[in-house]
């Protein structure tokens, strides 16, 4: 399958968002990262807002893009080679992170525990951001089984779904998410798998499946410009209407408003960004190719860079959002520079 510059550019933007998301967790008021400097000024709330908006859509977008490229990979390689490739491309980085990078990222946390490191390592099991790779590996395996034993009709290009089916999917996603969270509430952590957001699994699984369908039916190419505008409009209107309900109510009403807002915002922003990048950012120069070629490696190694910078700048006492901006401005080039060095190692490009 030929490279789609706008999709590669979107992956770069999403990878940047991942870095900013974890930097916001470092300096905001939500303790969910390896290093935590709780904000002592109101600007920390702005970082929490960034985390909330990111979380609503960006990992679902990653799964959509991953699903989009899955059928073509399976078609080219066949079932056995496809799974071997997935095990190499996903499994090997996961193991490297768990055995080499995770200890580095958690070295500061370990200092607070009086126990052997091996005991701490096992007791604090957490794949960190590589939970995405774990889940993606499972989705790939499920897809391979379906392709092997199921009958999937071949389909060619067709017009992307219109407003009615997109609205139906959005409402269904909101309803399923609300029901799912009765059992798996927001904030629940799954220690065995290390999933930080199992409450979002309906979005992740459905976005991956839609990505598979989008590949088969050419939906990315046929989404209209009007769909993009409506997507952004729906995301904005949903935010204005549903978030106040979410924060001014409680119980089931607040939970339903949260699930509905996330679905509307995610679907709207994803459609809007797909169309925007296809129409406006569908080209790459040398710099763009560099960024996209190294984006996956950046995703894998960025925790070590962010943790190192957080400790290096522990002395800097400024407003939370200022510190976030300063450290992020250093983290982005450092992540891509280290990723470039990593991919220059012998055999690295075969995996990364």
CB 113, CB 120: distance < 8 Å: yes
Model confidence pLDDT, tens digit, residues 215-239: 989 999 999 999 999 999 999 999 9
Q: Is 70 helix (H, G, I), strand (E, B) or coil?
A: helix
Q: Quick one: pLDDT at residue 120?
A: 83
Q: Quick one: pLDDT at residue 108?
A: 81
> How far apart are alpha carbons 95 and 338 in whole angstroms?
19
H helices of 150-284, where?
163-183, 201-217, 219-222, 225-248, 251-280
Q: How far apart are the first and last CA of the chain?
A: 18
Model confidence pLDDT, tens digit, residues 126-180: 888 999 999 999 999 999 999 988 776 666 667 889 999 999 999 999 999 999 9
Q: Quick one: pLDDT at residue 328?
A: 97
Give the list of residues 6+ apart from residue 177 with CB closer than 8 angstroms, or none. 199, 200, 202, 203, 259, 262, 263
Q: Is 301 helix (H, G, I), strand (E, B) or coil?
A: helix
Average pLDDT over residues 337-341: 97
């Amino acid at each position: 399958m030929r490279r789609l510059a706008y999709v590669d550019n979107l992956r770069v933007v999403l990878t940047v968002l991942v870095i900013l998301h974890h930097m916001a967790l470092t300096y905001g008021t939500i303790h969910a990262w390896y290093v935590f400097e709780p904000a002592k000024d109101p600007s920390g709330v702005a970082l929490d807002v960034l985390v909330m908006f990111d979380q609503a859509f960006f990992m679902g977008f990653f799964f959509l893009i991953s699903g989009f490229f899955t059928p073509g990979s399976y078609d080219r390689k066949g079932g056995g080679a496809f799974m071997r490739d997935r095990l190499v491309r996903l499994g090997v980085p996961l193991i490297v992170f768990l055995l080499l990078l995770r200890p580095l990222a958690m070295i500061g946390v370990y200092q607070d525990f009086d126990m052997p490191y091996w005991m701490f390592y096992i007791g604090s099991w957490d794949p960190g951001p590589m939970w995405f790779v774990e889940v993606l590996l499972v989705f790939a395996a499920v897809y391979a089984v379906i392709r092997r034993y199921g009958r999937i009709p071949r389909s060619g290009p067709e017009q992307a779904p219109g407003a009615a089916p997109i609205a139906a999917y959005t409402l269904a996603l909101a309803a399923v998410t609300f029901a799912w969270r009765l059992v798996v509430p927001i904030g629940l952590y799954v220690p065995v798998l290390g999933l930080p957001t199992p409450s979002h699994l309906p979005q992740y699984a459905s976005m991956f499946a839609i990505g598979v369908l989008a590949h088969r039916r050419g939906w990315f190419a046929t989404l209209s410009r009007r769909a993009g505008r409506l997507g952004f409009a729906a995301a904005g209107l949903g935010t204005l209407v549903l978030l106040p309900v979410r924060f001014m109510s409680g119980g089931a009403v607040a939970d339903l408003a949260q699930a509905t807002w996330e679905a509307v915002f995610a679907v709207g922003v994803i459609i809007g960004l797909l169309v925007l990048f296809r129409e406006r950012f569908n080209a790459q120069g040398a710099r763009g190719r560099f960024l996209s070629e190294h984006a996956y490696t950046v995703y894998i190694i960025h925790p070590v860079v962010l943790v190192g910078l957080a400790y290096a700048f522990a002395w800097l006492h400024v407003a939370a959002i200022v510190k976030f901006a300063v450290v992020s401005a250093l983290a982005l080039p450092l992540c891509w520079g280290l990723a470039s060095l990593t991919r220059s190692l012998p055999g690295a490009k075969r995996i990364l």
